[in-house]
Structure 1
Amino acid sequence: MRQFVVRYSLLLVVLLIVSACGQASAPASGPTVVDSPTEESPPASTTDEPPTVALVMKTLTNPFFVEMEKGARRAEQELGITLVVRTGAQETSIEQQISIIKELIEDQVDAIVIAPADSKELIPVLKEAQDAGIVLINVDNRLDPEISASLGLTDVPFISVDNEQGAYLSAQYISEQITEPTEAVILEGIRSADNAEQRKQGAMRAFGENANITVVAEETANWKIDEAYDVTGQLFEEHPNIKAMFCANDMMAFGALQYLKEQNRTDVMVTAYDALEEARAFIRDGELQATIDQQAAEQAYLGVKYAVDAINGEDIPAETMVDVLLVTSDNVDE
């Protein structure tokens, strides 16, 4: 496992170098927009200085967020703004994200595009930012609407994908191939994150449609490779007859696949979510059956664009859903 993590760390270094040089490709299809604009928009800026937009993400150790930065950089170039990119050390670095937002409030940025590590814990500090006149755009993981309303955080546009449907498509791909009694497990993300809950529900729906499938466990690995490796080992010790796995992101799938490879368990079908390049390589090799492309670059591109539109006093959609794409061996090279 240590060698696998070291090799994967080297891959991340390469991805980060490439992301600094590359440009995001155009999305495969356009987003679905809920046509209800925010009720209030701040007045257009009266300064000649270009607006400063901050993109706050969970981490750059996951290549998904490297792709997200690419989309934001594309918007920066097209719109002539100043983009500040800040991230936590890990996807679980919630307190670090809170500290980052406090710093951005002090820096008086014009807008914050936030991909929150937690759907609830960041709401109070985001309310502080909104009270300071900073435009907020929520991408990727939805902020909890009830807590937002109770704390007075209002009219924060949301850009993401239908996480429940994406996970459903991923798990359905193997569910449709199962014709005899089979045990399945689900590896979840951070349980306090809305997107993690939605993906779990989507996988449960897909597995539940096949009477031959019994979901014997739902465990969190907090989006991480190393935790997924350990959790997968524990699950297979408890349930050695598992033949199907849904992992709520590719990183957890990498940890699960490494464990399965070491145990020579070639009889287990695994699907995932994010369509990272290494996940595509696993699909080509036949180790991973499917993953979901949620167009990370497009989400961030729209987030920055909408932020600038709001700064300029324009109405923007309350919710925008970017299409998800199922990636299998049939279309992995498209």
Structure 2
Amino acid sequence: MKKWLLVFVSLLLVFAMGACSTQTETTEAPDTTEAATEAQETEAPEETEAESVQTEDEEAQTPADALIAFTKAELDKQLAPLPESGQNEKVGALIISLTNPFWVNMENRYMEAAEELGIQLEVLSGTTEGDTTSQLETLMTMATKDYDAIILSPIEGTNLIPGIVQANQNEIPVINLGPGVDEEALQEAGGHLDGKITVNFEEQGEMVANDMIGRLPDGGQVAILQGLSGAGQSEGRTAGAQRVFEANDTMELVAVQPCDWDATIAYDATKDIITANPDLKGIFAVNDVMALAAVEALKSEGREDVLVYGVDFTDDAKAAIQAGEMTGSVTYSTEIYTQAGLMMAMKIAQGQELTEPVYCPLTLVTVDTVDQYEDWR
């Protein structure tokens, strides 16, 4: 029990440190450090028989389950007051593309959450991660339907603005989940968002860069593989990592290469970077698809000594981390994230207003901790 408690407390500290904020709007993370310290210092009373049973149940809980419960508690605080139980609300969710395993997982989590909450849900997407036109066309069609709310994740900050304006005109509330809509451009177009739930993309980049620096005590050359130019998650992750790398005198950022979320482009870019910089020590690819491509490119060059990080903690990335081929991946609970987005839609449908953005806590899974995330979802 003591061993599990120490693992759980330490994971909560790391997880809470990754809780999201933005440069313009922030949500204060709960102070878990003091609470954890007090928990360690307080002498435990004798256990009753009932308490002993509860302790056995706690021991059976995995660290992944504990972190998911922590995430839910944090988001429930931000969502309070919570909506009433599902009243068969009809919600449309627009994701980016089913060509990326992350968004396939998001679709599955959305549908599971909708069934649990008792609402109707339709999940739609564009054709590919870079097809901004098809995603907008999909939203324009959604804006003509009788949804109680639409939840959307744009490919770029501006590509869905005409569709959002159309939904506004048809009095369908719009919630932005994940990659951010350019709200200044949206306002100029006469539109608005009714709610926002996201993660801090810059924080994701910072977490990776700091971990990489910790594993390279002598410093060295590093590179970043970006996603699609203009995509909020790519820009934010790049900016966060770049800022940390450039603030450290021992690190040299030798390349920041756009790869359009494409595995083939990332593979070729990695080969070019390692050829031009044979002393390269680390690569941060801003999603797992590109990170896995980088791993394959490095293998083809006989270079398995380069640290490789990604974002999303997909099943393939998890396997690569367990095999020691990737060093880490930033993640958050997509189960709770999608559930929270749907609860925001329910609140609006039930007449409540969403006055503040909602932020989902983050964590970094590494080769040192991956076995503790077997049940992550």
By the TM > 0.5 criterion, same fold?
yes
Where in structure 2 are the equivalents of 1:186-197 lying within 5 Å? 186-197=224-235
> 1:224/1:159 Cα in 2 relative to 1: closer, same or farther (>3 Å)?
same
Does the 8 Å CA contact 2:144/2:167 hold for their aligned counterparts? no
Does the 8 Å CA contact 2:149/2:173 hold for their aligned counterparts? yes
Structure 1 residue ranges, 4+ long, deviating more than 6 angstroms after superposition: 33-37
> 1:276/1:146 Cα in 2 relative to 1: closer, same or farther (>3 Å)?
same
Aligned to 2:173: 135
- How big is each residue's C-alpha offset from its partner over 1:32-72, in whole Å with a ceiling of 9 and x where there is no partner? 589699xxxxxxxxxxx933211111112222112222332
Does the 8 Å CA contact 1:34/1:320 hold for their aligned counterparts? no
* 2:144 pairs with one of 103, 106, 126: 106
Aligned equivalents of 2:98 and 2:184: distance in 1? Answer: 29
Which is greater in Rg? 2
Q: Give the TM-score, by structure 1 length.
A: 0.84
Aligned to 1:214: 252
Deviation at 1:204?
1.1
> 1:152/1:34 Cα in 2 relative to 1: closer, same or farther (>3 Å)?
farther
Aligned to 1:89: 127
Deviation at 1:138?
0.6
- How big is each residue's C-alpha offset from its partner over 1:185-236, in whole Å with a ceiling of 9 and x where there is no partner? 1011112111211100111123224311110111111122122112212222
Does the 8 Å CA contact 2:91/2:151 hold for their aligned counterparts? yes
Unaligned runs of 5+ in 2: 1-64, 81-86, 373-377
1:191 maps to a residue whose letter is S
Q: Which has the higher helix share?
A: 2
Q: Is residue 122 from structure 1 mapped to residue 122 from structure 2 by the alignment? A: no
2:207 maps to a residue whose letter is L
- How big is each residue's C-alpha offset from its partner over 1:159-189, in whole Å with a ceiling of 9 and x where there is no partner? 1111111221122111112233511110111
Aligned equivalents of 2:355 and 2:76: distance in 1? Answer: 7
Aligned equivalents of 2:246 and 2:76: distance in 1? Answer: 30
SS of the residue 2:230 aligns to: coil
Aligned equivalents of 2:144 and 2:301: distance in 1? Answer: 52
Does the 8 Å CA contact 1:67/1:297 hold for their aligned counterparts? no
Unaligned runs of 5+ in 1: 1-24, 38-48
Q: Is residue 288 from structure 1 mapped to residue 322 from structure 2 by the alignment? A: no
Deviation at 1:288?
0.8
Aligned to 1:325: 363
Aligned to 2:111: 73
Aligned equivalents of 1:78 and 1:28: distance in 2? Answer: 16
1:29 maps to a residue whose letter is F
Aligned equivalents of 1:88 and 1:284: distance in 2? Answer: 32
Which range is displaced more, 318-327 or 62-71? 62-71
> 1:193/1:331 Cα in 2 relative to 1: closer, same or farther (>3 Å)?
same
**Percent of aligned pairs sharing the same letter:** 28
SS of the residue 1:29 aligns to: helix
Q: Is residue 177 from structure 1 mapped to residue 215 from structure 2 by the alignment? A: yes
> 1:305/1:35 Cα in 2 relative to 1: closer, same or farther (>3 Å)?
closer
1:27 maps to a residue whose letter is I
Q: Is residue 51 from structure 1 mapped to residue 92 from structure 2 by the alignment? A: no
Q: What RMSD over aligned residues (CA atoms) do the two structures have, in Å?
A: 2.4
Q: Is residue 275 from structure 1 mapped to residue 313 from structure 2 by the alignment? A: yes
Deviation at 1:98?
0.5
